[in-house]
Structure 1
Amino acid sequence: MALPEDEIREHPGVDDADDDLDGRSHAQGLTQLIRRSLGGLGTFAKRLLLGIVLLVVALIAIRAYLSTQGPPLRPWQTIVPVEPDAADIAKMDWRAYTQAEAAMFDDVHRKLQAKLDAHDRTPLNRYFDASLTSPLRFERDWNRSFVFEPRGEPRGVAVMLHGLTDSPYSMRSLAELYRARGFLVLVPRLPGHGTVPAGLTRAGREEWNAVVDMTMREAQRRAGTERPIHLVGYSNGAALALLHEMRWIERGQRSDVDRIVLLSPMIEVNRFARYAGLAGVPAFFTRYAKSAWLDLLPEYNPFKYNSFPVRAARESYLVTADLQRSLDTVSRQNRLAQLPPVLAFQSVVDDTVSARAVMGRLFDALPDNGSELVLFDVNRSRVMAPMLRAAATDWARDVLRRPRTYTLTVLGVASQDDATVLARSRAAHAPAITAQPIGMSYPGEVYSLSHVALPFADDDPLYGLHPAGQGGLRLGAVAVRGERNALVVSQDALSRLGSNPFHAYLLARVGEVIGEERR
């Protein structure tokens, strides 16, 4: 199924003088609107409101000016794939969706190759087919939706949802575990992902929700009435998974899954995301198109975007807002007891989502249904502890002090002088804490896990700290030294932990959950 030529659009260019004229007209209209709005207010209120408005206008003007600096947008930041909208996806099944996906990938690839210039054809540009980071160098393109079929008759179905700016690759390890345990696994690519970052300037939460619903229909079809269904989500995918279930229950229906597994769930995001849309206001004028982006970075990661549009930040916040509203509604309806058990894994420190909100806003609201939260603590060894920020890490010291309605497990060092990792657990309503060694020590060079680390094994060939195999791209093991402000890539991005040293423990715990299902 080929897409017509106009199915991929680009940001149009306009004359700068026209931009200025439009800008002056827009400013004059805004001034008149402000004057009318202030007419009925007192003097102090007028001054206060006017000051706030002027501050916002000044910030937007600064944002517009800064967006004109630096290199121009590249093709992967201007070519916007047109995917099916939410209404179209609602009419599709899995086969129709993946067929449309394949046609869109082919058309995007053709358009990109025609637009690349000599400066884009580098060994680290994922969109240059001969580069080291091209998805074509792998045994399959993990940016696309995939299905894992078990040997023999499936004994269950698992649906797995990846995170924001991510791709189905992040669910591969868990998908392999489920397949090995006899489950059929469906991993959809959420719209806007896996192709070019510009895809996230159009696709958003309505399309993501539609794909989740479509995939769950496919799971129900394949599971029938006898096989269990597990819903697994990572980051934004975890929020979408919970939102699907809450809306299902909110409508008075019985939950359509038997177990939920979450990694780094996006329950609450940075407060900036709520107002991220303001940062993109100057992009209304084409001259300031770059203000539609929070990050404009080289695309060297084959299965994840580095560039990040304003709209994606706004949409991620709206997902969490929708989730909280639905959670509150279900709670008022006294239907939370219909939610299946939840097993979640979360790093104590997380720069993307609020780790404390996972406990306070989600787990503390859950029914007494056998749920469990696993926290990966920071490295509190004698060497590392003094370098940790107390405001970010101390909250997890006493979380096991009192019993809760769910099991709480914390993985951390045995003591400041003993790096042996213990899983300290307090079962729901239990009077005491148990401690069990997991058979490994906290890596001396690691001070904490990160938001992006949880789904990936330590030996993941791409993101692992100790990647398996010889040669190839090893993003997780990059260790570069030099002077500051010399790299086009953020030094923080290079040093951020990309894999989970405790991944084997995570898989074992998920394996226990799979084993609890009837055979």
Structure 2
Amino acid sequence: MLPLRIARARRLLRNLLFLLLGIGIGLLGLRVWQTQNGPALQAWHRFVPADLHAAEIEGMDWAGYLAAEAALFESVRRNVTERLEPEDRTPLNRYFEGSPVYPPRFRQDWNRSYLLLPEGPPRGAVVLLHGLTDTPYSLRHIARLYQSHGFLALGIRLPGHGTVPAGLTVARWEDWMAATHLAVREARRRVPAGPLHLVGFSNGGALAMKQAMEALDDPGRGRPDRLILISPMIGITEFARFAGLAGLPAMLPSFTKAAWLGIVAEFNPFKYNSFPVNGARQSWRLTRALQAELDRRTRAGRLEGLPPVLTFQSVLDFTVSTPAVVNGLYALLPDNGSELVLFDINRNSMLGILFRTASETALGRILPPAIRRYRTIAVTNAGEGEDAMVARVTEPGATQSRDLPLRARWPEGVYSLSHVALPFPPGDSLYGIAPDPADEAFGVQFGTIAPRGERGALRVPLDGLIRMSSNPFFEEMTERIGQMIEAR
């Protein structure tokens, strides 16, 4: 009887393996079909500039990093811009010298690393870390806020970014971490005394947290006094974990397009639209390394030295996991004066009847029941169907909240913020819903676009055009950051 059962179990296992193999081959074939029928790769997808890697960066100073960066952009000019095919020399292409979105034509190319100096001697320093596919442009308004408070502001371009999307096909998260180390070293070299702050947006938020924890063991790393995280990438969807499998066909020369999750026209002067598989894979690796270190230090009781963390996060975020910010970070933080600001949906939106139940109940589901060790601020409507907005504040250890009125209101037709909106004011020239005429123009104003018409007519995906790209509560957000800057 036993041999018969063993034989049946073996047959079942064999059949299951054949089934899984068949599914795998089918998925691989589907992936090949998708890529082969998608858009063609262009010069900016094929040319991989020789960006710096971790081993080189760790032994480099700021001047060396800037020199290497300048050589990098020159290589893009020679190998991409000067070699464009005639059909690629269009106003839509950021790599065409005659395009209104060609970055070198602007007063400052915000794809590159920068230093902003205050008028007098710096009283502190801040390092600003941008997100995945992004550039130092995304935190320029926060940098200027710090500059106005007497801080030196250093925004570093992370390897693989700011040049061509192909740069992200070879970058690794360890390269981004090494660049973070270098930026902190330079900030401390220039301002040896005074507070040191780290500001991280999205993927940069994970780097800022990792840097802060490394400094607990090695003060020579540059121990920050404050962390400001904006839509931090503490956790991302599980799809990114398996994104590397989507790129397997790219191992064969005929299927190189499989190395890309998205191949899109590059019309944004300061952000990639195309997205390589490796970008998702490296972000997943970074968040896994960060979470493992947080868990290890929590078990060992070694998070007590972390500085206060101020985080701004939309309850609806398609890119990062908002619950991971709450449960994977804030639930582990010591009682050190940290604060979490959550932006709720617009409960007065005429689109209310179209909301998914999960969207309507997101705020209540995300936050654990009080008592919490950190201050919580929910930016929400004063009441269901009301225009007035409040900051609903729950202090650490409290069970009751209090409402503080806010000046800002939701713009008409806007039902929520998005992952990309938080660091940009409504007056941002590129992303703002009401661009400030005094701000430098960058050839296009994405925040003002409200397309209406038939599908299939545009050369760009509608998803990227209708996504909220600026923050109507930016002024309140910067006021809170300013209060933290001035806190002793």
For normalisation by structure 1, the TM-score amounts to 0.89
Which of 458, 468, 476 lines up with 2:426 in the alignment? Answer: 458
Task: Give the C-alpha shift of residue 139 in structure 1.
Answer: 1.3
Superposed displacement of residue 457, structure 1: 0.6
The answer (yes or no) to whether the contact 1:458–1:467 under 8 Å persists in 2 is: yes
- Is this contact kept in 2: 1:249–1:255, CA < 8 A? no
Amino acid at match of 1:348: V
Corresponding residue number in structure 2 for 1:503: 474
Give yes or no for contact 1:255–1:340 (8 Å, CA) kept in 2.
Answer: no
State the shift of 1:389 in Å. 1.3
Counterpart residue type for residue 98 of structure 2: A
**What's the counterpart of residue 51 of structure 2?**
83
Contact in 2 for aligned 1:294/1:309 (Cα 8 Å): yes
- Other-structure match for 1:181: 149
1:513/1:243 CA distance change after superposition, 3 Å: same
Post-superposition offset of 1:68: 1.6
Counterpart in the other structure of 1:125: 93
Pairwise mapping of residues 262-281 of structure 1 onto structure 2 (< 5 A)?
262-281=229-248
The count of corresponding residues between Structure 1 and Structure 2 is 477
The alpha-carbon deviation at position 263 of structure 1 amounts to: 0.1
Aligned to 1:514: 485
Partner of 1:23: none
Distance 1:350 1:392 in 2: 10
Using the alignment, how far apart are the partners of 1:269 and 1:202 within structure 2? 20
Distance in structure 1 (CA, Å) of the matches to 2:14 and 2:191: 62
- The answer as to whether partners of 1:254 and 1:338 remain within 8 angstroms in 2 is no
Equivalent position SS for 1:185:
strand
Distance 1:238 1:511 in 2: 19
Pick closer, same or farther for the CA change 1:192–1:416 going to 2, 3 Å: same
Q: Which moved more, 1:228-237 or 1:396-405?
A: 396-405
User: 2: CA distance between counterparts of 1:134 and 1:382?
Assistant: 37
* Match of residue 422, structure 1, among 390, 409, 417: 390
- Offset, 1:253: 7.9
Q: Percent identity?
A: 46
Asked whether the 8 Å contact 2:184–2:222 carries over to 1, the reply is no
Aligned twin of 1:16: none
SS in 2 for 1:412: strand
- Normalised by the length of structure 2, the TM-score is 0.94
Q: Residue type matched to 2:30 in 1?
A: I
Counterpart for residue 45 of structure 1: 13
Q: Secondary structure at the match of 1:416?
A: coil
Deviations 1:310-330 (A, max 9, x none): 000100111100000110111
Q: Which residue of 2 aligns with 1:168?
A: 136
CA contact (8 A) 1:345 1:374 kept: yes
Give yes or no for the alignment of 1:356 onto 2:317. Answer: no
The answer to whether structure 1 residue 493 and structure 2 residue 461 are counterparts is: no
**Superposition pairs of residues 307-346 of structure 1, within 5 angstroms:** 307-346=274-313
1:384 Cα deviation after fit: 3.3
Cα distance in 1 for residues equivalent to 2:194 and 2:132: 30
Q: State the SS of the aligned residue for 1:345.
A: strand
Conserved? CA contact 2:131–2:204, under 8 Å = yes
**CA offset at residue 252 of structure 1?**
8.6
Shift of 1:203: 1.1
Offset from partner CA, 1:47-105 (integer Å, 9 cap, x none): 21232122112211221122222442100000000112210111101111111101111
Matched, 1:239 2:210: no
Is this contact kept in 2: 1:67–1:288, CA < 8 A? yes
Q: Distance in 2 between matches of 1:279 and 1:400?
A: 36
Q: Match of 1:132, as an amino acid?
A: P
Q: Does 1:211 align with 2:179?
A: yes
Give the Cα separation in 1 of the matches to 2:17 and 2:211.
40
2-side partners of 1:456 and 1:217: how far apart?
27
Within 5 Å, give how 1:273-312 maps onto structure 2. Answer: 273-312=240-279
Compute the displacement of 1:250 (Å). Answer: 5.2
Q: For residue 324 of structure 1, give the secondary structure of its aligned residue in structure 2.
A: helix
- Preserved contact between residue 348 and residue 396 of structure 1 (Cα < 8 Å): yes
Q: Secondary structure at the match of 1:318?
A: helix
2:162 equivalent to 1:191:
no
Q: Match for 2:269: what amino acid?
A: P
2:4 matched residue in structure 1: none
Rounded to whole Å, the distance in 2 between the matches of 1:456 and 1:370 is 26
Give, in angstroms, the shift of residue 147 of structure 1.
0.3
Q: Given residue 316 of structure 1, which amino acid in structure 2 is its aligned partner?
A: S
Separation of aligned partners in 1, 2:221 and 2:172? 27
Greater displacement, 125-134 / 395-404: 395-404
Gaps of 5+ in 1: 1-38
Q: CA deviation at 1:501?
A: 0.7
1:304 to partner: Cα distance: 0.1
Residue 418 (structure 1) shift: 1.6
- Structure 2: which amino acid aligns with 1:231? L
Checking the alignment, whether the CA contact within 8 Å between 1:170 and 1:456 is kept in structure 2 is yes
Secondary structure of the 1:357 match is: helix
Q: CA deviation at 1:107?
A: 1.5
Q: Does 1:104 align with 2:33?
A: no
Return 105-114 or 166-175, whichever deviates more.
Answer: 105-114
Is contact 2:113–2:157 with CA below 8 Å preserved after alignment? yes
Q: Aligned partners of 1:400, 1:513: CA distance in 2, in Å?
A: 25
Specify the SS of the correspondent of 2:154. Answer: strand
Between the aligned partners of 1:388 and 1:397, the Cα distance in structure 2 is 15
Contact 1:250 1:326 in 2 (8 A): no
C-alpha separation between the residues in 2 aligned to 1:496 and 1:407? 29
Aligned pair partner of 1:403 in 341, 356, 371: 371
Preserved CA contact (<8 Å) 1:457 1:499:
yes
Aligned equivalent of 1:17: none
Partner letter of residue 346 of structure 2?
N
Question: Quick check: 486-495 or 173-182, which moved more?
Answer: 486-495
Against the structure 1 CA distance between its residues 276 and 70, is the aligned structure 2 distance closer, same or farther, given a 3 Å change threshold?
closer
Residue 484 of structure 1: which of 455, 467, 470 is its match?
A: 455
SS of the equivalent of 1:409 reads strand
Cα deviation for residue 428 of structure 1 reads 0.4
Is the Cα contact below 8 Å between 1:349 and 1:393 reproduced in 2?
no
Range moving further from structure 2, 108-117 or 444-453: 108-117
* Letter aligned with residue 85 of structure 1: H
96-105 or 215-224: bigger deviation: 215-224
**Worse-superposed segment, 435-444 or 384-393:** 384-393
Q: Return the alpha-carbon distance in structure 2 between the equivalents of residues 300 and 77 of structure 1.
A: 14
Instruction: Give the AA of the match of 1:211.
Output: A
Q: Distance in 2 between matches of 1:274 and 1:431?
A: 38
